[in-house]
């Protein structure tokens, strides 16, 4: 079905997919109470870029914008894949999100024994999964699909 759609429709679909994934991440954070780790936050930025590229590509259709959309989707898929590997223990994650980091904590709070400083969210723990796949894993899978749609749009432009 996707192979018969015009490139503008594909661009809109791919950009809307990134917007939906962003909305889902914010819903898990603000409605579900699941605070994001550093890698979770990093996965959001390429989606935001892809939404911006979608707007530009719809206003000024250009094959290179669609290629950039592909790269944005591949970037978040790569971060999601790395994050999923950290969660599964396949490799070590970033030191800043695998425990013990004091990044973002002020010196006053560090010296104040009464300060309520929350523990950093760990990247190596899975706060939610569906069918045994974490949010990072689902982001990778969905983003690879979006990269395919962006690529199809670029080939069609």
Nearest to 17 by CA among 142, 155, 137: 142
Q: What is the pLDDT of residue 36?
A: 87
Contact 107, 77 (CB under 8 A): no
Residue 17's contacts (CB-CB under 8 Å, 6 or more residues apart) are 142, 145, 146, 149
Q: What is the pLDDT of residue 101?
A: 53
Q: What is the pLDDT of residue 13?
A: 96
Contact 46, 73 (CB under 8 A): yes
Q: What is the pLDDT of residue 115?
A: 59
Q: What is the pLDDT of residue 9?
A: 94
Return d(Cα 131, Cα 148) in angstroms, integer: 23
pLDDT band at 5 (very low <50, low <70, confident <90, very high): confident
Q: What is the pLDDT of residue 116?
A: 59
Return d(Cα 104, Cα 97) in angstroms, integer: 12
Question: Percent of the chain beyond pLDDT 90?
Answer: 54
Worst-scoring range by mean pLDDT, 49-53, 85-89, 99-103? 99-103
Residue 38's contacts (CB-CB under 8 Å, 6 or more residues apart) are 94, 96, 97, 121, 123
> What's the token pair of residue 12?
């809109």
For the stretch 112-129, pLDDT in tens is: 666 555 556 777 777 877
pLDDT band at 139 (very low <50, low <70, confident <90, very high): very high
Q: What is the pLDDT of residue 70?
A: 97
Q: What is the pLDDT of residue 157?
A: 80
Compute the average pLDDT of residues 137-150: 96
Site of tokens 């970037």: 75
For the stretch 34-77, pLDDT in tens is: 888 888 889 999 999 999 999 999 999 899 999 999 999 999 99
> What's the token pair of residue 122?
């760990």
């Amino acid at each position: 079905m996707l192979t018969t759609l015009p490139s503008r429709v594909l661009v809109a679909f791919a950009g809307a997919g990134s917007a939906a994934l962003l909305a889902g991440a914010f819903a898990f954070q603000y409605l579900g109470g699941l605070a994001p780790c550093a890698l979770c936050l990093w996965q959001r930025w390429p989606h935001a870029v892809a939404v911006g590229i979608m707007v530009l590509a719809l206003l000024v259709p250009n094959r290179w914008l669609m290629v950039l959309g592909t790269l944005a989707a591949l970037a978040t898929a790569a971060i999601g894949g790395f994050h999923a590997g950290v969660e599964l223990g396949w490799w070590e994650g970033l030191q800043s999100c695998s425990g013990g980091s004091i990044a973002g904590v002020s010196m006053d709070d560090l010296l104040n024994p009464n300060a309520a400083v929350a523990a950093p969210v760990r990247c190596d723990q899975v706060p939610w999964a569906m069918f045994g796949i974490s949010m990072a894993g689902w982001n990778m899978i969905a983003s690879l699909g979006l990269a395919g749609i962006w690529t199809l749009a670029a080939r069609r432009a």
